[in-house]
Copies of this chain bind each other. A is one copy, B any other.
Amino acid sequence: MQSFPLERDGLVPVYVQIRKRLLDRITSGDLKAGDLMPSEQEISGTLGVSRMTARQAVKSLCDWGIAYSMRGKGTFVSPVKLEKNFRQAQSFTEEMNALGFRPSSQVFALKAERAPTEVAEALKAGRNSEVIRLDRLRLANSKPMGIECAYLLHSMCPGLIHVFDPQASLYETLWKQFGLSIAVADEIVEVGLPSAAAASLLRISRNKPVFLFTRVSYARRGHSMQAVEYVKSTYRGDRYKIANRLTRAKLKLAGISV
């Protein structure tokens, strides 16, 4: 167990930080499938937390299917294939960097609220679940590219509101602070015209076509995927395009809406 001190400022719960360290040891290969994880008592003593707190971290890994416990023996890493070399699914920030643009953002909303019905259903969460809403204008080389309105399940990233740096990459923060790695996303792409508000923020006229994205992102959680993020975006049609590599199966996903 790494023994550098935990942050006790109350921004990110201690058990989340501990869980993150355990996850790091698994993804780095330090702890392999079948290996014995540090015991609750050991974590408690090493990191100076109560055993219940250590247990909360270990328990959540078991809930995620990443570990399993045996009474009297210990807790072991599940034989689940957690991909090494964990690269993040690309966020706007990473995408712009890769293309040599300088990404930036203007955050105009960051708050907790109750999930709208559409969001709750997409995230498979109960109606009125708590979500964190993050509205941002995305820019490349200081030129407006698109607007994103993201809803994140609060239960997956408690404390995000306090630790999120408005200029940082959301995906990077999700990984560094909460051990969440976005692995896959389902996306609906439509075309349309911008709302008056969107047109103003994007500095285009209302008759310019735009991309409309609806995306649900998933993090790997043991054997299954956990919906984490629901995003509605509007992107300028004159500055954005999509490149897809389609397989035969994927060609069939293209759909019609009346």
Contact = CB atoms under 8 A, between A and B. Distances in A.
Copies in the complex: 2
A192 B255 CA distance: 19
B237 A256 contact: no
B68 A251 contact: no
Interface string A57-98: 000000101011011000010111000011111111101101
Given A254-B242, A256-B101, A79 B189 contact: no
B244 A257 contact: no
Given A71-B130, A126-B68, A95 B237 contact: no
Interface stretch (A21-29, A160-168, A203-211): A203-211
Interface in A231-245: 237, 239-245
B243 A186 contact: yes
Nearest to A67: B126
A42 interface: no
A188 B242 contact: yes
Interface string A182-209: 1111111111110000000000000101
A78 B92 CA distance: 34
A70 B243 contact: no
Given A99-B255, A211-B191, A255-B90, A244 B244 contact: yes
Contacts of A34: 127
Contacts of A241: 188-190, 255-257
A125 interface: yes
A77 B110 CA distance: 27
Contacts of A93: 252
Given A89-B248, A183-B248, 11 more contacts: A79-B126, A90-B252, A92-B252, A98-B252, A101-B256, A185-B246, A186-B246, A187-B246, A189-B189, A209-B237, A239-B258
8 contacts: A92-B252, A92-B255, A95-B251, A95-B256, A145-B256, A239-B258, A240-B257, A242-B254
